[in-house]
Amino acid sequence: MEIPYNSKPRPDTGLYNAKVGIWLFLASEVMLFGALFSSYIMLRVGAPEGTWPAPGSLLKVGPGAFNTVVLILSSVTVVLAWASLKFNNFKQYRMFQGITIVCALIFMCVKAYEYHDKFTHYEIVLKEGVTHYEGISHGTGVRSHLNLVDGHLVNQTEDEITLTVHPHHDDHAGHDHGAEAHPEEHDGDHSGHDHAEHAHGGHDAIQVTVRKSDIAKMESYGPWHSTYLAIYFTMTGLHAIHVIGGAFVIFYIWGPGAKMWKTDPERYVNRVEVSGLFWHLVDLVWIFLFPILYLL
């Protein structure tokens, strides 16, 4: 038995089945992300003074903005691909939707780079009384009472960990530092750290080797690090799953599923439209995620 209104619209509603289905699904998606946005508001408003990171201090705006442009571009190519099919131009559809898939891959690569950057970014709390690292160690924000070394992982052995530290770039909570860093003023003989300096943009990035016996607590900037990073990874992680899912469906329709264009073109166009609607929701969510997580 043939399912009615699979490709032709139902006369009274003017809609085919999948169109109603995808909008109901998108409605549930709005509520899913709505719950996370609500959590974000609660966490941010409830965060104690100075614990929420200053805009741009933990996440680089550049990759986030680049990904925004990539997703917007992919939204346009999705709609152009659909319009191409409406004009019976399958070759052009293939080109536009191919660009969409490439955009999805680029987005995920940038996201992977950002995640990797956070998972290799360490905050080390030194033991009380350890003074070898003075000048490069200082607390930030609400943790200004702690003796911290903050930087990206270079190397780790059984006894030591080496980080690249940007001494003037640790103000994550937007507050004054406990102490300014002046690594060039230090006596290397007693410190146990290695001042192998190398240039990183305009900052004086230095490599610091910390003895593990001097460490009270060490933690990367993963979701466990702070409330902000917990909600950042939750929201962007869920969004990334949507990007992967959407890209997979678009790829299937673009590649193996394209046979339908010859057997049932109307239904095929409907499939492209429905997958496109989902993709626009993915773009829509990112339009809000980018400012609240990276800029505000």
What residues line the site for another protein (CB under 8 A)? 13-15, 19-20, 23-24, 27, 30-31, 34-35, 37-38, 41-42, 45-46, 48, 51, 55-56, 61, 65, 68-69, 72-73, 75-76, 78-80, 83-84, 86-89, 142-143, 145-146, 276-277, 280, 283-284, 287-288, 290-292, 295-296
Are the CB atoms for 125 and 148 separated by under 8 Å?
yes
What is the enclosing helix (H) or strand (E) of 233? helix 227-254
CB of 38 to another protein, least distance (A): 4
Decide whether 48 or 129 has the Cβ nearer to another protein.
48
End-to-end CA distance of the chain: 55
CB of 61 to another protein, least distance (A): 7
Query: What is the pairing mode between strands 160-165 and 148-156?
Result: antiparallel
Nearest approach, Cβ of residue 279 and another protein (Å):
9
Q: Supply 274's token pair.
A: 């429905």
Structure tokens at 137: 């160690």
Q: Which is nearer to another protein, 24 or 196 (CB)?
A: 24
Tokens found for residue 273: 């439209």
Q: Given the complex with another protein, which of 73 and 102 has the nearer CB atom? A: 73
CB of 161 or CB of 282, closer to another protein: 282
Cα separations in angstroms, 14 against 24, 27, 270: 16, 19, 13
Q: CB of residue 19 vs another protein: minimum separation in angstroms?
A: 8
DSSP alpha helix (H) spans, 47-163: 61-86, 90-119
